[in-house]
Amino acid sequence: MRLFGLIILCGLWQLPIIAKTDSEINVQVGAAKVDVTPREPVVLAGYGGRTKEFDGIDTSLWARCLVIGKNEPAVIVVVDNCGVPGKLRSLLAKRLSKQGIPEKNLVVSATHTHNAPNLRGYAPILWAGRTSKDQEKRIDDYTNFLIDKMESVVLEALEKRQPMKLGWSRGSVQFGGNRRLIREGKWAGFGFQRNGPVDHSLPVLVARDIKGNARAVWANYACHCTTAGSRNHVGGDWAGYANEMIEKEFKSAVSLMTIGCGADVGPQPSGGLEDAKKHGSSIAKEVKNLLEKEMIPLPGVTSVTGTTAKLPLMKPLPRKHWESQKSAGSFQGELAKAMLNQLDSAGSISSEVNYPIQSWKFGDRLAMVFLAGEVVVDYSVRLNSELDWKRLWINAWSNDMPGYIPSKRVLKEGGYEAEFSQVYYGLPGPYLPEVEDTVVGAVTDLLKNDFGAKEDQEAAPFHRFPSPEPATFKRIASWLKEPKSEKDKAIVEKVRECIRSAVPAHATMVSGQGQGTEWHNFAGDFVERTFIRQSKKGARMSWTFPLNQEKGREPMSLCFVGGLGWKTEPETGGFMMLINGRDPIQFDVTADPAIWSSSNKSIELIYLPTWSSSLDSGGFFFVHILKPNAQEKTNVKISVSSLGEGSMRWFALDSEQKIMNRLKQLREAFK
């Protein structure tokens, strides 16, 4: 902790490491890894509901090290763990000072896997009063074991240094999705907020020996390592699989995976080891793709800079409040005890958090930023606009674990990252909105002179999910070329007919008993929609198509996008659709193309699913009106109601239709 005190006095520090700037000159580089899988029972960090030692081991855990430079080198240690507190970094730095490594040159990062042992000092309130003395001892034992292993891996990397050439490039993978569900501007829980900000960039650095073999590969991606969920097994999650697969591809290399500003970004999909392997594979494939192409040469780490920012908290509540909470018997009660201890020992509760920020510069070609804690993605978005994003690499979960670092947006929306997660990290309350300007200002002060954004800088292209719709229409076109049953052939021809007779009308919503949610649409995208279930007989929703139809009594088609789901639930009679109160059509949940007709055959309902899972589907619905009447020249009202009860089967209509543009693309696919 003495380092941070020095930084506060000095404000900023800068240490030249390599004076040479010729990118073709070899740089002394060493890399190593060491197994840090626990050998004894220990509780795992990441999920507060797990209070027993782990039940098994899915994959090994590792500490990995990269050393760049000969004299006073830059060193990064990346640990498969939920987070490494700053005090542990300081203990490691003290040991490494004997090897000529200044504390200022050391970075300790975590992959943030939620399936690694808890370390002493990590999220202290989460475990306070909930572990036995034996469990506490085993936490300390593993913490000491890890420090020993981190020291050994740095010494090995130092010993393995040899002349290498460095290069970097940037790719993209897209499994990270914003996990903060927002309803009416406020946090509504965890899930997949498709339109939320993300950082899909994948910067990659490679060190090659004089024969051209990759000896170290370092990649960075902004996403939680939570794919496996709360399974009480040791494992590295997607980052661990990515490292394993990269090392399998590049057999002479040590792979390091760090995490960017992904505190509010989660892996999509999640739920098990197979998903984690798929995400790791997507990283490894993109790394391979980048390493097979020309990369930007780097001169080594030419300077290290750093500062400590003071992050402002809301004014702490007085002693009276904490006295009233100390017997609560919950996380709040443990926090109250910690706050009272602060008052007794220091006389006050701090309203600021010391926040270390570090940067490595590789000449004028790349600036790496290392931010502490769980940093939300808005910091990446903003820093990539205020600095030259084409030469910027942002790491989080580095050098300390003060908790979540929310942005102005997240604080306004509230919820986990903004509010009640603070308790687990022993903080007396939320941050003030000024926290964002404080962090961004500290980073830009370090880098703006050499890496500032130009006035006409284009926006970084990786902060939004690309639309899956173009790929969906390509899949439809490919599907149409495949052999089909007679039934599917008939449906395809019926859809062609409906596309030709479709009228330019958008569905306008909705009355009745429909409920709002978000789920996969026809392209697999998460969208807002209204749905009804078969849980209650007679549950109904309605919408209208305002028309200006001049075709007399010619057949016409109305198109909308929606979905059907939970086909494993009991059948109860299905749904009934009425068009202007007449011509009932009975239909039910399916994931296959289907046609249903009214009893007099005057109206057909055609369903073309274009996305499906094992339970649900989404796609295009066509209401094909073969014999329009006078009422249908000006207005069509459609209603759907449940014919049964006791089943969770559902029918949904998407809120955003954009039907004319989508029909145009569907028409192209059907050519």
Q: Which of 10-24, 426-440, 489-503, 511-525 has the highest mean pLDDT?
A: 426-440
Structure tokens at 233: 């097994």
Q: What is the pLDDT at residue 628?
A: 76
Alpha helix locations (H) across 420-461? 421-424, 434-451
What value does the mean pLDDT take over residues 638-659?
94
- Residue 533 CA neighbour count, 13 Å, CB half: 14
What pLDDT digit, counting tens, does each position of 153-205 carry? 999 999 999 999 999 999 999 999 999 998 889 999 998 888 899 999 999 99
Per-residue model confidence (pLDDT) at position 7:
30
Residue with tokens 């499906």: 612
Q: What pLDDT, on the 0 to 100 scale, is given for residue 568?
A: 93
pLDDT tens-digit series, residues 69-102: 999 999 999 999 999 999 999 999 999 999 999 9
Neighbour tally for 580: CB within 10 Å = 16
CATH class name, domain 469-669: mainly beta
Query: Is pLDDT at 16 greater than 70 in this prediction?
Result: no
Per-residue model confidence (pLDDT) at position 15? 36
Cα atoms found within 13 Å of the Cα of residue 282, Cβ hemisphere only: 20
pLDDT at 503: 87
> So what's the pLDDT on residue 632?
60
What is the arithmetic mean of pLDDT over 430-443?
98
268 pLDDT higher than 50: yes
Q: How many helices (H) and strands (E) does the chain have?
A: 15, 34
Q: Give CA separation, 90 vs 93, 148, 403, in Å.
A: 5, 13, 18
Q: Is the pLDDT of residue 4 over 70?
A: no
Burial category of 483 from C-beta neighbours within 10 Å (exposed 0-12, middle 13-18, buried 19 and up): exposed
What confidence tier does 525 reach under pLDDT thresholds 50, 70, 90? Answer: confident
Provide CB contacts within 8 A for 203, sequence distance 6+.
168, 169, 170, 219, 220, 393
Where along the chain do the CATH 2.60.120 domains lie? 469-669
The secondary structure of residue 181, as a DSSP letter, is E
pLDDT digits (tens, 9 = 90+) for 462-473: 999 888 899 999
Does position 633 have pLDDT exceeding 80, yes or no? no
Cα-only R_g, the chain: 29
Q: Which of 181-185, 573-577, 585-589 has the lowest mean pLDDT?
A: 181-185
Mean pLDDT computed over every residue of the chain:
92
Confidence class of residue 330 from pLDDT cuts 50, 70 and 90? Answer: confident
Lowest mean pLDDT among 8-22, 23-37, 298-312, 587-601: 8-22
8 A C-beta contact, residue 502 and residue 670: no
**Per-residue confidence at 626, pLDDT binned at 50, 70, 90?**
confident
Q: Cis ω on the peptide bond leading into residue 428 (within 30° of 0)?
A: no
User: Quick one: pLDDT at residue 551?
Assistant: 52
Please give the average per-residue pLDDT across 538-550, as a whole number: 84
- The predicted pLDDT at position 59 comes to 97
Whether 11 has a pLDDT exceeding 70, the answer reads no
Q: For the purposes of burial, counting CB atoms within 10 Å of the CB of 72, is it exposed (0-12), middle (13-18) or buried (19 or more)?
A: middle
pLDDT of residue 13: 35
Report the alpha-carbon angle 114-256-390, nearest 5. Answer: 105
Q: Are 64 and 253 in contact (CB under 8 A)?
A: no
Beta-carbon contacts of 327 under 8 Å, excluding residues fewer than 6 positions away, are 333
Per-residue model confidence as pLDDT tens digits over 347-381: 999 999 999 999 999 999 999 999 999 999 999 99
Residues whose CB falls within 8 Å of the CB of residue 489, separated by 6 or more in sequence, listed in order: none
Q: Which two tokens stand for residue 369?
A: 């930023």
Quote the pLDDT of residue 403. 97
User: pLDDT digit string (tens) for 269-321?
Assistant: 898 899 999 999 999 999 999 999 999 999 999 999 999 999 999 999 999 99
- Say how far apart CA 448 and CA 445 lie, in whole Å: 6
Nearest CA-CA partner of 228 in 216, 210, 240, 214: 240
Q: Which residues of 634-643 are buried (b: 16+ CB within 10 A; e: fewer)?
A: eebebbbbbb
Mean pLDDT throughout 617-624? 96
Q: Looking at this protein, which amino acid is placed at residue 216?
A: A
* CA dist list (Å): 313 to 243, 411, 422, 511: 37, 12, 10, 45
| Whole-angstrom distance, CA of residue 113 vs CA of residue 240 | 8
Helix axes 273-291, 237-249, angle to 10 degrees: 40
